[in-house]
A and B are shown apart, each in its own frame.
Chain A
Amino acid sequence: MRTSKLRRCLLTALVFAVASLAVACGDDDGDNGDAGAGVETTGSATTGGAAAAEFETITAGTLTVCTDAPYEPFEFEDESGEFTGFDMELLRAMTTNWGLELSVTVVPFDGIWLLPTAGDCDLVASAMTITPERAENALFSDPYFDADQSLLVRAEDAETFATLADLEGGTIGVQTGTTGEAYATENAPEGAEIVSFDEAAAIFPALESGDVDAILQDFPVNAFRSTQDELFVVTERFPTGEQYGFATSPENTALIDAVNAQLAQARDDGTYDQIFAEWFGTT
């Protein structure tokens, strides 16, 4: 917020120089429309009982969410252009209870947890693992999903690259800034080359074309892909104990409290299980 206010001030000052300087910087918050109205959430939409919470959003009446889509089955656009997937449906259940619109901003994953602080969105929901490094610059919700890392290879290579150790001399595709990248950097055999990609969607063509020999990323994503596409199989799963969380700026405890209350409620009343079953079959 700080930087955008500065930028706006500077621009105005440069254009109007003397005259409008005082006006432009003196009273900046009233006229820009993103002051955001407080939202009353009673949490009483279904079971009730959750404490009333109040938080502000960037745009009044809307929860703006940053995500790196497409990342099936967590966030992607369906045929009608609506964002769907596990994360999105879970959030939609929350925003419906709050009476807010859900607005999705697609951004690259690297550094995505810094965006609420930058004022780009209220919340990050991007199948993002909670790590101590990320928690230094973002405030995470309670974990909402257990995920591990895994190795996806071309079906014809299933025996050649059965484990990570087999990839000596091979190339491993990862997504920039992910825990999969960190795991690969730490655990890949000496002679393996690690190739990073900006977006998850770009790695699958690279595996298909032979540009990389394996993809190391979150198990649910690889597993979902192998059920959708018979070209690929998951050969190894690495139990890392990783858990996904939603994130916002370190100051925004009000929003995270409200999210946590909603998560607890969704687990209690069966909403969570219902959405889980929709994307991953049985619980």
Chain B
Amino acid sequence: MVLTKRQRTNAVRLGFYLLTGAAVAAVVLVPDWRDLQRAFFQWDIVTEQFPDIITTAAKNTVLFTIYGFGGGLTLGLILALMRISSFRPYRVFAGTVIDVIRGLPALLLILLIGFALPIATDVRMSRTGRASIALAIVASAYIAETIRSGIQAIPAGQMEAARSLGMSYSRAMVTVILPQAFRIIIPPMTNELVLLLKDTALVSVIGFTAAERELTRFGRDGVVSSANATPLVVAGLVYLALTIPLTRLSAHLERRAGRHR
């Protein structure tokens, strides 16, 4: 039987509909929903999580993210500018640092900075301070590469034009190139911010007080005290309440930035 192109498209589409329908039916029919709810969503355990999950856990997650991203942005910008510098030692240094950081798991860096730093040196710093620095360092390498790609996406003529108007290199960079570059990199930077927010789940490895717990740790402790997985599900929902608005905001900023160009 020979099908026309349109018939073939329709047949494929029908196939996909059937597959999707079967998958949905499987999800709805196969699990024992009572069992699942007992294991993952007991309402009285859900209510027990509040208000501490917001006032302590979510607050700490957000603070770690802000400190980490703020530090990461500063360090990342410096690394990016060094990476595109005309002075070779800067380029080599920044390239090496970025490679090393990107090549190491975030957990390992947090352990290194959290444990090894205070033993190796006499630097006295709070646990949250060390955790934030570790997060900032982790973020800086990825942010540096993002900023570099943004800068290099601006046509070279822009810099040349600015310089020919008599601007210095740094003035041209700050007033002409970087503002345009940052507009371009809003989506990947939001991505970076969301990744960092999720990486804050790792900082509890270096120790924590009850008041320093972030969302994942809070959820894990809840699992132990309630012998039920509900606290993890609630923590997950709070993460989503933080990350989904962020990605939406980024989409909005992207549209607005597009209008201004």
Residue in B closest to A195 when the chains form the complex, CB atoms? B207
Determine if A106 is an interface residue (Cβ-Cβ < 8 Å): no
In the assembled complex, which residues on chain B have CB atoms less than 8 Å from the CB atom of A137? Answer: 227
In the complex, what distance in Å separates the CA atom of A176 from the CA atom of B209? 10
Most buried by A among B18, B26, B208, B220: B26
Interface residues of A in 164-192 (CB under 8 A from B): 173, 176-177
In the complex, what distance in Å separates the CA atom of A9 from the CA atom of B27? 10
In the assembled complex, which residues on chain A have CB atoms less than 8 Å from the CB atom of B36? Answer: 6
Determine if B205 is an interface residue (Cβ-Cβ < 8 Å): yes
Nearest CB of chain B from residue A83's CB, rounded to whole Å: 23
| Contact between chains at A111 and B224 (CB < 8 Å) | yes
B residues sitting closer than 8 Å to A (CB atoms) are 18-19, 22-23, 26-27, 30-32, 35-36, 39, 115, 118-119, 124, 127, 204-210, 220-221, 223-224, 227
| Contact between chains at A177 and B26 (CB < 8 Å) | no
In the assembled complex, which residues on chain B have CB atoms less than 8 Å from the CB atom of A110? Answer: 220-221, 223-224
| Contact between chains at A13 and B221 (CB < 8 Å) | no
Nearest CB of chain A from residue B253's CB, rounded to whole Å: 35
Determine if A206 is an interface residue (Cβ-Cβ < 8 Å): yes
In the complex, what distance in Å separates the CA atom of A214 from the CA atom of B124? 17
| Contact between chains at A194 and B210 (CB < 8 Å) | yes
In the complex, what distance in Å separates the CA atom of A245 from the CA atom of B209? 28
In the complex, what distance in Å separates the CA atom of A32 from the CA atom of B16? 30
The answer, among B30, B118, B210, B221, for a CB contact under 8 Å with A25, is B30
Chain A contact patch, size range: 20 to 34
| Contact between chains at B227 and A136 (CB < 8 Å) | yes
Determine if A114 is an interface residue (Cβ-Cβ < 8 Å): yes
With known contacts A3-B39, A14-B23, A210-B118, A195–B208 Cβ distance under 8 A: yes
29 pairs of residues in contact across A and B, judged by CB atoms under 8 Å: A6-B31, A10-B26, A10-B27, A10-B31, A13-B26, A13-B27, A14-B26, A17-B18, A17-B19, A21-B30, A25-B30, A111-B224, A111-B227, A114-B224, A177-B221, A194-B209, A194-B210, A195-B209, A196-B209, A196-B210, A197-B207, A198-B204, A205-B115, A205-B119, A209-B115, A209-B118, A210-B124, A211-B127, A211-B207
Nearest CB of chain A from residue B181's CB, rounded to whole Å: 40
Determine if A202 is an interface residue (Cβ-Cβ < 8 Å): yes
The answer, among B18, B35, B207, B223, for a CB contact under 8 Å with A196, is B207
Residue in A closest to B122 when the chains form the complex, CB atoms? A210
In the complex, what distance in Å separates the CA atom of A210 from the CA atom of B115? 11
In the complex, what distance in Å separates the CA atom of A2 from the CA atom of B229? 14
In the assembled complex, which residues on chain A have CB atoms less than 8 Å from the CB atom of B18? Answer: 17-18
A-B contact count (CB 8 A): 82
Nearest CB of chain B from residue A256's CB, rounded to whole Å: 19
In the assembled complex, which residues on chain A have CB atoms less than 8 Å from the CB atom of B22? Answer: 13, 17-18, 21
Residue in A closest to B224 when the chains form the complex, CB atoms? A111
| Contact between chains at A17 and B31 (CB < 8 Å) | no
In the assembled complex, which residues on chain A have CB atoms less than 8 Å from the CB atom of B207? Answer: 173, 195-197, 202-203, 206, 211-212
Determine if A56 is an interface residue (Cβ-Cβ < 8 Å): no
| Contact between chains at A211 and B118 (CB < 8 Å) | yes
In the complex, what distance in Å separates the CA atom of A256 from the CA atom of B118? 45
In the assembled complex, which residues on chain B have CB atoms less than 8 Å from the CB atom of A2? Answer: 35
In the complex, what distance in Å separates the CA atom of A56 from the CA atom of B200? 41
In the complex, what distance in Å separates the CA atom of A3 from the CA atom of B31? 9
In the assembled complex, which residues on chain B have CB atoms less than 8 Å from the CB atom of A177? Answer: 221, 224
In the complex, what distance in Å separates the CA atom of A227 from the CA atom of B149? 56
Pairs A-B, 7 closest by C-beta atoms? A13-B26, A17-B22, A209-B118, A111-B224, A209-B119, A137-B227, A18-B22
| Contact between chains at B26 and A17 (CB < 8 Å) | yes
In the assembled complex, which residues on chain A have CB atoms less than 8 Å from the CB atom of B31? Answer: 6, 10
